[in-house]
Amino acid sequence: RLKPFNRLQVILQHLKMSNHTDSTAEVLLEKRGGAGVITLNRPKALNALTLPMIRQIYPQLKTWEQDPETFLIIIKGTGGKAFCAGGDVVAIRDAGKAGDRMTQDLFREEYILNNAIGTCRKPYVALIDGITMGGGVGLSVHGRFRVATEKTLFAMPETAIGLFPDVGGGYFLPRLPGRIGFYLALTGFRLRGRDVLRAGIATHFVESEKLPALEKDLMALKSPSTENIADLLNSYQVKSQVDQEKQFVLDEHMEKINSLFSGTSMEEIVEKLKQDGSPFAMKQLEIINKMSPTSLKLTLRQLREGASMSLQEVLRMEYRLSQACMRGHDFYEGVRAVLIDKDQTPRWKPAALEEVTEEFVDNCFKPLGNNDLKL
């Protein structure tokens, strides 16, 4: 028999090991009932997506898609604050400055994962409870079901850091009602709670505290069809009373959004905002003036072109844009100003929309030959 001290050591050692496998893994992948469950597990970093996480999720998603015993896939985040606040842009910036391959690999593998979610043959249910931005949108919005809660905070804030709303933003944003997608993409406007459903980004709304019960019910479904899953989600949505009375936050501005953000160039949109002169228009002008002029022009063209493309064509286009941003100035400066030094005063180059030439924008969209994204 083990001496008491040794036995304690063995127990502690065992606890350490089991903790190690559970709590320190950046992503947890488990099969529960008929469901494959992906849990993003970087709560301190608001579950920001890293390249190692992408490399774990993708093969597992493909395995579950082929597995006759897996009927649906659920993705969620830990920590109660965020589903996934985006990609690890500080790491991307550091890699880009060092000339590291990660600036190619991360975007390439992330977009391949976005496409796998968009084409997944099994129902895919994203529980977007908490902050859902950038890379977190890519992990959810292309799936069949997106369940928002009163804690959901959705945004595509990339133009503020010298990037563009990628991860398939060029596909889903121009397909939202009216010009909402263009407005969200250019201004980084944040939608909360039920408004994420009303804007057409989420498919369902369920109160946050009901999610554990919903998850259990999803796992308990015996060989469910998409219809069974939809019925279950609908039954939860019907019982969710939070913010039911409130009208859509953008309701009173929709007419203006649709007319002001329908310009064919950034200069035209800015001119329309100036001419409109309303408090709403002036506020949008002020926001747009803080964004990277290069990002604004790339984003507007990305959405205009993406409106008539397939998801695969959009991701190929966005990969070209991502590499153009990695070669440029504004992404590094934007991440510095917003996330590293936090002085919030990026010095964009060029500093004005008029200085971002058509020729420069065209170049960013050019094919990369052998380096193009292959899906």
Active centre residues (catalytic): 87, 135, 158, 166
DSSP letters of 332-364?
A: HHHHIIIIIS-------SS-SGGGS-HHHHHHH
H helix runs in 211-310, sequence order: 211-220, 226-238, 254-260, 266-276, 279-288, 293-306
User: Scanning the structure block, which residue is given the tokens 């993708």?
Assistant: 58
Q: How far apart (Å, rounded) are the C-alpha atoms in residues 350 and 348? A: 6
Assigned token pair, 341: 């030094």
* Segment holding 39, helix H or strand E: strand 35-40
Q: How far apart (Å, rounded) are the C-alpha atoms in residues 201 and 148? A: 9
What one-character DSSP code corresponds to residue 45? Answer: G
User: Scanning the structure block, which residue is given the tokens 């800015």?
Assistant: 270
H helix runs in 98-145, sequence order: 102-118, 135-138
Dmax over Cα atoms in the chain, in whole Å?
86
Assigned token pair, 52: 């190692």
Contact 299, 152 (CB under 8 A): no
Assigned token pair, 345: 């005063």
